[in-house]
Amino acid sequence: QVQLVESGGGVVQPGRSLRLSCAASGFSFSTYGMHWVRQAPGTGLEWVAVIWYDGTNKNYADFVKGRFTISRDNSKNTLYLQMNSLRAEDTAVYYCVRDNYYGSGSPDYWGQGTLVTVSS
């Protein structure tokens, strides 16, 4: 069965960096696009970024452009989100989500999320 397990969350000071990881199993990781979606406490879902199956195409939400970088290592079945210049408003649960196509499709399977708290 499809499993997505996020890690790397925690408490970080404003302006610092953090890298999230998502370990994928139960499917052929290298043939699916992947998304990051976040949810600030008590608020709605925000789409963050998508990466195509081979890493050649990436798209970002405007609010993270230039600060966050999505990447993947298909040899390790792992998705990453490098977050730089973190702000208090980046505090959220970050979900790793599989795309049901190469990267131009729709989210289908979700991980359980990892909490990032940006605070001094």
Partner 1 sequence: QTVVTQEPSLTVSPGGTVTLTCASSTGAVTSGYYPNWFQQKPGQAPRSLIYSTSNKHSWTPARFSGSLLGGKAALTLSGVQPEDEAEYYCLLYYGGARVFGGGTKLTVL
- Give residues in contact with partner 1 (CB under 8 A): 35, 37, 44-47, 50, 57, 59-62, 95, 100, 104-113
Shortest separation between residue 110's beta carbon and partner 1, angstroms: 5
Shortest separation between residue 67's beta carbon and partner 1, angstroms: 15
> Which residue type does 55 have?
G
Q: Rank residues 16 and 44 by Cβ distance to partner 1 and give the closer one.
A: 44
Task: Report residue 40 as tokens.
Answer: 């600030």
Q: Rank residues 15 and 108 by Cβ distance to partner 1 and give the closer one.
A: 108
Shortest separation between residue 33's beta carbon and partner 1, angstroms: 11
User: How many whole angstroms separate alpha carbon 72 and alpha carbon 79?
Assistant: 4
Q: Rank residues 12 and 113 by Cβ distance to partner 1 and give the closer one.
A: 113
Q: Rank residues 1 and 75 by Cβ distance to partner 1 and give the closer one.
A: 1
Specify whether the CB–CB gap between 53 and 30 falls below 8 A.
yes
Shortest separation between residue 32's beta carbon and partner 1, angstroms: 14
* CA–centroid distance for 80 within its chain: 6
**Residue 59 φ/ψ, nearest 5 degrees:** -130, 145
Contacts with 11 (C-beta within 8 Å, 6 or more apart), sequence order = 117, 118, 119
